[in-house]
Structure 1
Amino acid sequence: MATDALNSRKAAAVAALAVAGISLTSIPAAAHTGAGIRRPASPGADVRVAAAPGVPELPDGLSARSWMVSDADTGDILAAKAPHRRLPPASTLKTLFAVTALPKFPAGSVREVSAEDLEGVGDGSSLVGVEEGERYRVADLWRGVFLRSGNDAVHVLASMNGGWDATAQEMQKTARKLGARDTTVKSPDGYDTPGQLSSAYDLTVFARAGLANPDFAQYCATASARFPTRDGVTQIVNTNRMLAGSHGLTPYPGIIGVKNGYTTHAGNTLIAAARRDGRTLLVTVMNPRSGEYNAVYKEAGSLLDWGFESVGKARPIDALRTVRSAPEGRTAIAPESRAVRRPLATGTRGTTGTITTVTAKADRGTSKNSATALWSGGVGALALALAGTLAWRRHGRRRGGPPEGDA
């Protein structure tokens, strides 16, 4: 019995050391202060970017409260500032609305708009001009959502989807299926609502999932389109200035979407995707604080420039949570033991690439300091060590600024 007790204590000690070693070495590099990680002082102490030969310094003048640069094909995160910081998303949340509802209705189906469809459109909302009693194709409504960020079009589509509250609940479920844990949906159109929050990480996940749908990719890449009115048609222009090339900006080289937003509470928000030399990058920027005109677009553009110079050189700091397409256009977490390849639609020209999901687990503590990470790792190690000891014993017994988008 004494020998058994001694063996049990030895096994527990070995298990604790082994698990602690695994836990500590699994802490993301940013939790350590060793060489190889560059933490630029100017953008803020919560910036993470891996140093590697040939990787340029991050651009100057980054004032956003949160941002992230990622490779849409591989899911690699190249650099980020507080990517899990929960902030109001404004109309960038419409990407989640589209991922949730767009696959359900044929583009050519027609909806006659009722008064009930337009109930509850918030004061000051951006509108595309949907009118009660008129008939609209679903494709026209989606163009109203993506180009003009029309909350009136969102309300009609949400009515088709079972109602406003039901759509918000379904969007919340979709976010969780995609592995987006920072998002709380209160209003499907992104209108300022108490408690409605998302993050640069989650918005990037939504955009990446959306770009795998050719219809989503085509809508978000459209710079201008014709929209029906009672008097005929009118021309609508995308409020994404980086795409449309408006308000003193030229279209960003290789731009393929995705969505911009603005509310008083959220400030300016933007998810931008661009493709060059066979690489598709995603940049999400939330609430620049510089006050500079077109700040959200300029900061996104500079981050895209940095990303294209760095991709293939920078060691990823993290990876987007693994996702794959599921039946009826829905999405789900893919098994971590498998890599899944799926087509990445890239806009109106019909060119395609691929999204390769990755097996690395997402770091949900990127903005936490090393002490917190070490403490959490220690607790996890202890719990696993105790579990290992119990299993060993059982085994032994068995054996014996100004608006820059929309509102």
Structure 2
Amino acid sequence: MATSYAAYSVYYYEDTPPYDGHGMAGRILDAGASFVVAYPNLRSTNLNGDPKVEGFTDTGNALRLAVTDYVTGSARPVYIYDPVAAANLATPTWTNVQNLYTLTRLGSYLYALDYDNARVVQIDPSNYSETGKTFSLAGSGLPLPSGYTPYGQALIVAGSDLYGLFAFADSTWSNYASSMLVRFTISGTGITVGPTDYNNTLEKNAFSLAAYGSDLYIAAIGGAQGSSGVSNPDSRVQKISIAGALNGATVTPVLTQSDFAYEYRDISFDAGGNAYVLMGTYDSSWNLVGKLVKVTAFSPLASTDIDTFSTTPGYFWSAQYTADNNRIWFARGNAIRVYDASSFTTPAATLTLSVNGPGNLGGLLGSGDLYDNINDLTYIGATGTRASLRGYRSPLQVSNTPRARAARGLTRGRPELTEDELEQLDD
């Protein structure tokens, strides 16, 4: 098994903004078997309470890590690291990326997704600078729903093309319009979307993309996420063929509420076509109740539970398969479990928000650290495709608009607003 790296970022959640001075990032080394080791404090200064980490490769195919954070309405420095040597290589500021949500490589360039502005920005990995090529969904000429704000949810490379997924929410984050998948054309003149290279009939509040064969699979909440143990009845996993035109292509549900009575939050595939699906719904105490499932066939459904959970706090939940090491990286609220995909009876490692003991095993924190929430996790890898472990979080958690910042001050760590809190926000 090849030595590979994941990087994590955690933050300490205060009652009200600002969160300045409380950000950090670290590394997790996976060297095979049960040898999974955490190295905290890759960076513990100059980050606020909304850190973000993204793994990628540069022009020489060397592993790199981007570490940044959010400040409402302004671009922030992006710290580029060599994750093996833990060395800071550069600190660019991408002026067109105010809220970095995904960073992926296609050909000779990187593509960054700005969540708040539904914008894709081309980055030159040789010097980590913007090339000037951007695509913004607003003003693109594509048919967008009136009265809804677009959010950039995911970027993925499938075959030789770049695809983007966008969701649309109203100002309350209570109502959603159908989501949109686009296929980008990248040329010497810019980044565009052709008249047949979009589909705007996907389920509401779609957020996670995975590719297998000639299809893309999309996990969607179906609107606002459920609470008090009642999941959104429209949550589902859908697939769409990318072999031809997207406009008019059939969108087929492969998992619905009749299969599992949870909301679908993340999906990934191994080379054999097995899907790893994370699902769950918040209970009345805002703990996520659900499970991580291996699906070997969608129709008829054949599945095996990998992990279940019911009373675990924390809002960052995600699960991704990584081919380099045949692992499943499961961000389980405020812990990270690493499973061997060939045998997941017992986790190969469980990493928690505790201080490291001798040998740095098990704990994600260094001495004196007070952080109590995992905020982000990205897989950097040895040779294979980088993967952002992005499981669903509500717009108020990931958006850095002034309204979202105010909402986070009211919810104090919970993923959604109550009706009373929504009234306070409006007032």
TM-score of the two chains, using structure 1 as the length reference: 0.27
- Higher share of residues assigned strand: 2
- Higher share of residues assigned helix: 1
